[in-house]
Amino acid sequence: MITPDTIDASNRAFDEAWRSDYAHLDEQLRRRGLDPDAVVEQVAAFEVAAPSWALGTGGTRFGRFPGRGEPRDIFEKMQDVSVVRRLTGSASRISLHIPWDEPDDPRDLREQAAALGVAFDAVNSNTFQDQAGQTSSYKFGSFQHTDPSVRKQAVAHNLHAIDVGAALGSKALTIWLGDGANYPGQTHLRKAYERVRDCLADVYEAMPSDWNLFIEHKPFEPAFYATVVSDWGSSLMLARETGERASCLVDLGHHLPNVNVEQVVARLITAGRLGGFHFNDAKYGDDDLTAGSIKPYQLFLIFNELADALADGALPASPSYMIDQSHNVKDPIEALLQTVDRLQKSWARALIVRRDALAHYQETNDVLMAEETLREAYETDVGALAAAARKRLGGAIDPVAAFRASRYREQVSEARTGAAYVPPQSL
């Protein structure tokens, strides 16, 4: 339903304005000694995965307000991701939550996905909820549990997630644990950590040798007193104790207020353990809002650390990028299109920081000019550059406008009758 013709038709409407904006930007960047074509190429190479759970309308513990034409199963979610891919040139991978989106036949799903140009990103295990038919409960944790049979069950679930992922062609497992305590005294803080560490070692041991393990931290919720993997320090300790291919995953909503997230990113780069990101934004807690909607400068500063580390070789390759948002009041496809555009723009801004000038001002303690060098890039309107990258990939100058013009949502609404699949809980 989104064909090259649909995209061309939309692009024609914006072409003249885009050309004029791009010409101006091109001139501005050349004046600064930058190469706009090289930046477009790097933005075009930016790949971010979409999570299977963000394609349906999300909700809170108080309720959920479904939209029209929501995907009813994982195949329809893949169809929707392929729309994001076509319009943005990014998001060619989908990240599955096991068991929320566990396919009956992973090999068959892999083939169907390939036909849509979609592949599989990291698989996410889930031991933060009890699942139907499960022998033991995770009420008091999974990897941290005092009962070895519960820990064994949680490890076995992770091995199952790896099996499903291997059949799909995934190469990484992301583990986020809800483990922790709600009250002082509930758990032995050191022993809880040690049990988690030992279970991670068991999972790592069984992981294929070409897989990576991402450890995702979060300060609180569902444990409101002491979460085991609460911060980047605990995550880094665990990654180091687990093995070479274990690293830390930074979810932008998983930090206490006012934490300097770009500095966390810098630390993990220095430690050689920055594995990946879950992009979203937050005002109060783990709000799962659209990336860049609340703290756009922070998002830019994070990308700035990444661009800097990729340029000087501190980062050998880009970390794994994924979106982890809950779309409660926006059309999920539109929210993803908006998000990818924001990420492409933030990345573009980081790429146009004049690094030599910044290094010079830092070395000579010219505080004002160092800050201005960052602001210069941040305040540049790079919309035409992000659009140029998408055009190069066969995508849309304005992805949301092209999506609306295609009437995709209206068309699938007619076909997708019956109840949409709803994950047991949005976290």
Residues that bind ligand PSV (CB under 6 A): 53, 124, 176, 216, 218, 251, 278, 286, 324, 427
CB-nearer residue toward ligand PSV: 124 or 406: 124
Kindly state whether residue 305 participates in binding Mn ion, applying the rule CB under 5 A.
no
Residue number with CB closer to ligand PSV (324 or 331): 324
Of 177 and 382, the one with the shorter C-beta distance to Mn ion is: 177
**Which residue of 179, 251, 305, 308 would you call a contact of Mn ion, by CB under 5 A?**
251
Taken in order 311, 314, 318, 323, the sign of the CA dihedral is negative
Q: Which CB, 6 or 227, lies closer to ligand PSV?
A: 227
3-state DSSP call for residue 332?
helix
In whole angstroms, what is the distance from residue 152 CA to residue 195 CA?
11
Tell the smallest beta-carbon distance from residue 278 to Mn ion (Å). Answer: 4
Q: Compute the least distance from the CB of residue 235 to Mn ion, in Å.
A: 12
CB of 288 to ligand PSV, least distance (A): 7
DSSP E strands, 37-178: 50-51, 59-60, 63-64, 93-95, 119-120, 123-124, 172-176
Q: Which does 124 bind (CB under 5 to 8 A by kind): Mn ion, ligand PSV, none?
A: ligand PSV
Q: Using CB distances below 5 to 8 A depending on partner kind, what does residue 218 bind out of ligand PSV, Mn ion, none? A: ligand PSV
Q: How far is CA 243 from CA 95, 165, 305, in A?
A: 23, 20, 25
Contact 400, 337 (CB under 8 A): yes
Taken in order 370, 371, 373, 374, is the CA torsion positive or negative?
A: positive
Nearer to ligand PSV, 10 or 124 (CB): 124
Contacts of residue 265, defined as CB under 8 A and 6 or more positions apart, other chains included, come to 250, 274, 302, 305, 306
| Binding footprint of Mn ion, residue count (CB under 5 A) | 3
From 222, 231, 125, select the one nearest 170 (Cα to Cα).
125
Calpha distance 39→33 (Å, rounded): 12
Tell me which residue of 86, 10, 93 sits closest to 52, measured CA to CA.
93
* Interaction between residue 278 and Mn ion (CB under 5 A): yes
Q: Is 70 in the site for Mn ion (CB under 5 A)?
A: no
Residues 315-334 vs Mn ion: string with x where CB under 5 A? ---------x----------
Please choose which of Mn ion, ligand PSV, none residue 350 contacts, taking the beta carbon within 5 to 8 angstroms, the exact cut-off set by kind.
Answer: none
Q: Among ligand PSV, Mn ion, none, what binds residue 151 when CB lies within 5 to 8 Å by partner kind?
A: none
Smallest gap from Cβ 251 to Mn ion, in A, equals 4
Q: Which is nearer to ligand PSV, 21 or 102 (CB)?
A: 102
Cβ-proximal residues to 214 (8 Å cutoff; 6+ apart), any chain: 122, 172, 173, 174, 175, 246, 247, 248, 249, 275, 276, 320
Of 25, 30, 47, 31, whose CA–CA distance to 379 is shortest?
Answer: 25
For residue 213, the tally of other CB atoms under 10 A from its CB is 25
Residue 318: is it exposed, middle or buried by C-beta count within 10 angstroms (0-12/13-18/19+)?
A: middle
Smallest separation, CB 49 to Mn ion (Å): 12
Q: Closest approach of Cβ 241 to ligand PSV, in Å?
A: 21
Residue 225 contacts residue 178 (beta carbons within 8 Å): no
Choice between 215 and 333, CB closer to ligand PSV: 215
341 binds, among Mn ion, ligand PSV, none (CB under 5 to 8 A by kind): none
Instruction: Tell me the two tokens of residue 58.
Output: 């999300």
Select the binding partner of residue 387 from Mn ion, ligand PSV, none (C-beta < 5 to 8 A, by kind): none
The footprint of Mn ion (CB under 5 A) covers: 251, 278, 324
